[in-house]
Amino acid sequence: MKPSVLNVTLCFVLIAAVVTMHDVFPDFSYRVPFTLLLALAVLYVFSKAGIQKPASYKGISLLFLSLFIFTCVYHAVLSAVTGGGLFDNSYWIFLCVIYVLAWLRMRFSFKGNSGTAL
């Protein structure tokens, strides 16, 4: 498996695990340490996979868009399956805000470096 495919797959698995944990187990007292442990495990795999070449603006934009859509759809499906309200858990909204902020940061950093990001 190519490292880039592995990295994207791990992002989706991490998001699914964390959103599932926050939706299905709302009273689970170890959510934060478990989330940090999952994030550290994924970062470790990222560090071992390495970056082969610099990412393009289009590639990073598609990654953020796919993470955003996946998070929203996965949470909506999970809320329907568990019978919870769509806005009962605000963690997924927090993730979506982080994606938008990271995308804006990336957009302006690419724009400042090359002047062709639009």
* pLDDT exceeds 80 at position 25: no
Q: Which residue has better confidence, 10 or 66?
A: 66
* pLDDT exceeds 50 at position 23: yes
* pLDDT exceeds 60 at position 82: yes
| pTM of the predicted structure, to 2 decimals | 0.61
Of 60, 59, 92, 101, the residue nearest 73 (C-alpha):
92
DSSP letters, 29-52, are: TTHHHHHHHHHHHHHHHHHHH---
CB 15 within 8 A of CB 42: no
Domain ranges of the chain: 3-114
CA distance 8 to 63: 8
Question: What would the pLDDT profile of 97-116 be if each residue is shown by its tens digit?
Answer: 888 888 888 888 776 555 45
